[in-house]
Chains A and B, each alone.
Chain A
Amino acid sequence: MKSNYIGKPTSRVDGPLKVTGQAKYAAEFAADGLVYGVVVSGEIAKGSIKNIDVKEALSLKGVLKIFTHENVSGLPWFDKNYKDQDSPAGSPFRPFQDNKIMFSMQPIALVVAETFELARYAASLVKVEYKEDKHETVLMDHLDKAKKAPKGKVGFEEPKSRGNAGDAFKAAEFKVEGEYLHSAEHHNPLEMHATTVVWEDGDKLTVYDKTQGVFNCQQYITKVFGLSTDDVRVLSPFVGGAFGSGLRPQYQVFMAVLASLELKRAVRVSLTRQQMFSFGHRPSSVQRLALSASADGTLQSVKHEAFGETSRFEDYTEIIVNWSGTMYKCENVELKYDLVKLDVFSPLDMRAPGAVTGNHPFESAIDELAYALKMDPLAFRLRNYAEEDQMGGRPYSSKELKACYTQGAAKFGWDKRSIEPRSMRDGNQLIGWGMGTAAWDAQQMLANAKAVLSADGKLFVSSGASDIGTGTYTIMTQIAAETLGLAIEDVTFKLGDTNMPEAPLQGGSWTAASVGSAVKAGCEAVKAQVLKLAKKSKKTPVSGESADDLIIDDGYVLLKKDPSSKISISELMKQAEVGSIEEKAMSGPNPINKLKYTFNTHAAVFAEVKVDEELGTAIVSRVVCAVAAGKIINPKTAGSQIKGAVVWGISKALEEESMMDKNLGRFINHDLYEYHIPVNKDINDIDVIFVEEHDDKVNPLGVKGVGEIGIIAVAGAIANAVFHATGHRVRNLPITMDKVLGLSE
């Protein structure tokens, strides 16, 4: 079959637009009379504004308006108007609500002017007097105020303990304990958050926003500003990365819409790189692990306790510790997750939220326990392999983690590893090999799609989904072409527009499964119509033939028993005088299977580090990441996602950290010079393996998603490799020179 595209490495269909600079992002849409808004960020972490003086700024010719808490009123009072699909429990932040300052760099004014330069200059002239209150912004310092993490955020499940981990730990022969610290991190997609609002008569708005969900953004705008969905169209055809930062409408959306409605003209608001550190972030964490095993290598107990941070106004929760109860077979598990309220902005889901946080300490402890037992870390993991979900005993719909271990280890050469720390060298470099295991949810959300086949044989498919670089455009094109049986060149897929059928937020690795299933269903419905036309057609090679006896391939309907008897779809449509065939479809998870099975993706990560003990440098020289994620629709784009996720894992392990200045209560390294993320030179060989995994229960496509699974185990594998190289277990991330040298913890 020529139209077999699913599973084939396929170059991005949006590639030509991206390499020629034609792909347009939120801040790049032109509009007549466009004016620019620049946000003024507050300078204190907690307190109130005593006085805000805008006179000087406003006196400049070309400065149109300055919005502050003093002149914005009349917006809805209730929290529900400000809640979005990714809101945790609590009261969402509302810009310009009052004079209270709740976090450092809180947006306190929007200066709108004829040009960007003028708005920026005028913003520098806004003078603010504050009444400063004492702030608390460092998690470690306030663990005594921790409270049980509440329910309220969609998808959050409270940790469940089982057995008696305390007693088992006491009785066990081999045991390890440790405390681990993670700094906060900021998403920092390369495109800064921006919104361009085009205003038309009657307060009709076209909003180009950097978002992972146009419908979420539309819903927020309509509820906050009292507009109808008919009057607010949100588009995001291209998103310059997001990694979670676009899950919630950020404050520039509010500001651009506010200014546009007031000034009755087009407004663009772009945040600065510094301001990218002024909203949601991956929360810092303190975690305590205690694991024990019997002499034969059987895991006896797992205790995992995590403290996360949240803001004063919302209770951000993520699933950090639950994974530790399901990764390996173990009867005694004690899990605890508490929150500490700080004077910071609410944390926000960031690539593999929670899982990536809990995995590094847990997989470090697993490694440490293997060493206590003098067992190979891979053998120890296999010894405690969980064939079924340990939380509730449900079978997995599929779990090819063993294949990940086998193939990953073989590719890496794990069998050549000498177990003793400090036993492998390359010149003056200590070499360390470490590994880790990851799991993530394979979820499916309700999604819609529309497919329109025109008489020229071209198919147009749409869904208001998102492509933050994940390859959505490409895989949906592949799915559509294969389902209907067309040449891929004859299929166009569009996304990121509220005028299209509704799709869920792009997050949680569920886009391929959710939107893909809807696209498949829509194209199957069109296919059924084409086959009906074939049966009804007069004097064609397929006349009178039933659907079961026909196939469609490469734009032709053919007889199954004699593929040389065929007719093109466009000829069939012309004969029947059908201008186009249009079908809409909705697809959602199978509720029965959801009760019967646990749907997870898995990965095994093997990492090599080279440590220079004199300089304290640690370099990740190679990584093998073996992934079991069901059907891989496009190994090329999926492979890139995994490689990128490994880069993120390297970053988490060695580089990335938002440093909180205790005195200022502010993330102090708030730019790309001081906030370290990998550059080209930092990254070496990354091998990705997709193991075969057949799953007919998870969804009609058998796909499980790959956005998250690649990052989760990387930091743990690297930390374990650093231990293997140096004999020193660095528990706090990132593992920077000072920690490698033992100068700080």
Chain B
Amino acid sequence: MSGIFKQASGSHATTLAPAPAEPVKVRLKINGQEHVLNIAPWVTLLDALREYIGFTGTKKGCDHGQCGACTVLVDGIRINSCLTLAVMREGQEITTIEGLAHSEDLHPLQKAFIEHDAFQCGYCTPGQICSAVGMFNEGKANTLDDIKEQMSGNICRCGAYNNINAAILQVKGEMAGE
């Protein structure tokens, strides 16, 4: 393969561009456990989860807050983890899809998503589920129409919306029955 590439490695003697900020220590509490990272301040929470810790359950679908695949819960509030820097979230409780199930027991929404076939490729699913948990916490979704409106920040390209709503409605009903 040596014939393919001709360029010599860069010499780092002189940095011609503004150098990026040095790594800093960032402590993140994720799913009840503390993770200490040595990362540059420009690392998003999403990339910190996926690339630096290995929590790849949180998905990257656009990196611009336009699809909702990266939705996580921070102190119970749903946010797009691609639109926040990890360093900004020190001291807060971060919950990802990996933290929703209690040991072997799936979260009721996880069970309902399987039962209602509320996904196909599965890529938007962690974001959908975290978003639904956040929506329940907000307490403003009373009807199917509310759910549709309030879940519209999470795109499902496979088009599983009917089934996603059925799953959410079922869990909402179970919660009301408790």
Interface residues, chain A, with chain B CB atoms under 8 Å away: 11-12, 14-25, 27-28, 30, 55-61, 63-67, 70-75, 115-118, 121, 125, 188-192, 203, 225, 238-243, 258, 261-262, 270, 272-273, 468-471, 636-637, 639-641, 643-648, 671-673, 677-683, 685-686
Whether A469 contacts B120 by the Cβ 8 Å rule is yes
Q: Does B79 have its Cβ within 8 Å of any Cβ on chain A?
A: no
Q: Does B43 have its Cβ within 8 Å of any Cβ on chain A?
A: yes
Whether B110 contacts A19 by the Cβ 8 Å rule is yes
Instruction: Give every chain A residue within 8 A of B62 (Cβ-Cβ).
Output: 192, 273, 671-672
Whether B67 contacts A190 by the Cβ 8 Å rule is yes
Q: Does B133 have its Cβ within 8 Å of any Cβ on chain A?
A: no
Bound: A56/B17 CA distance, A: 6
Q: Does B148 have its Cβ within 8 Å of any Cβ on chain A?
A: yes
Contacts A20-B110, A640-B160, A671-B64 hold; do A679 and B10 have CB atoms under 8 A apart? Answer: no
Whether B6 contacts A190 by the Cβ 8 Å rule is no
Bound: A74/B2 CA distance, A: 9
Contacts A258-B4, A637-B117 hold; do A20 and B106 have CB atoms under 8 A apart? Answer: yes
Give 22 pairs: A residue, B residue, CB < 8 Å, sorted on A.
Answer: A14-B122, A18-B125, A20-B97, A21-B57, A21-B58, A28-B56, A61-B12, A121-B42, A238-B122, A240-B59, A241-B157, A243-B157, A262-B4, A272-B63, A469-B158, A644-B159, A672-B67, A680-B148, A680-B156, A680-B161, A680-B165, A686-B162
Whether B19 contacts A191 by the Cβ 8 Å rule is no
Instruction: Give every chain A residue within 8 A of B174 (Cβ-Cβ).
Output: none
Instruction: Give every chain A residue within 8 A of B6 (Cβ-Cβ).
Output: 70-73
Residue from the set B14, B57, B151 with the largest chain A CB neighbour count within 10 Å: B57
Instruction: Give every chain B residue within 8 A of A469 (Cβ-Cβ).
Output: 119-122, 158
Whether A59 contacts B12 by the Cβ 8 Å rule is yes
Instruction: Give every chain A residue within 8 A of B177 (Cβ-Cβ).
Output: none
Interface residues, chain B, with chain A CB atoms under 8 Å away: 1, 3-7, 9-12, 14-17, 19-20, 40, 42-43, 47, 50-51, 54-64, 66-67, 69, 96-98, 100-101, 106, 110, 113-115, 117, 119-126, 129, 147-149, 151-165
Whether B117 contacts A60 by the Cβ 8 Å rule is no
Q: Nearest CB to that of A15 among chain B residues? A: B114
Instruction: Give every chain B residue within 8 A of A647 (Cβ-Cβ).
Output: 159, 161
Contact of A117 among B20, B149, B155, B163 (CB under 8 A): B20
Instruction: Give every chain B residue within 8 A of A270 (Cβ-Cβ).
Output: 60
Q: Nearest CB to that of B47 among chain A residues? A: A116
Besides A189-B121, A644-B158, 8 other CB < 8 A contacts?
A11-B117, A19-B125, A25-B59, A59-B15, A117-B40, A189-B123, A273-B66, A647-B159
Bound: A395/B101 CA distance, A: 54
Whether A58 contacts B10 by the Cβ 8 Å rule is yes
Bound: A24/B58 CA distance, A: 11
Whether B160 contacts A644 by the Cβ 8 Å rule is yes
Whether B148 contacts A16 by the Cβ 8 Å rule is no
Instruction: Give every chain A residue within 8 A of B60 (Cβ-Cβ).
Output: 27, 192, 270
Q: Nearest CB to that of B144 among chain A residues? A: A684
Distance in Å from the Cβ of A111 to the closest Cβ of chain B?
11
Bound: A225/B5 CA distance, A: 12
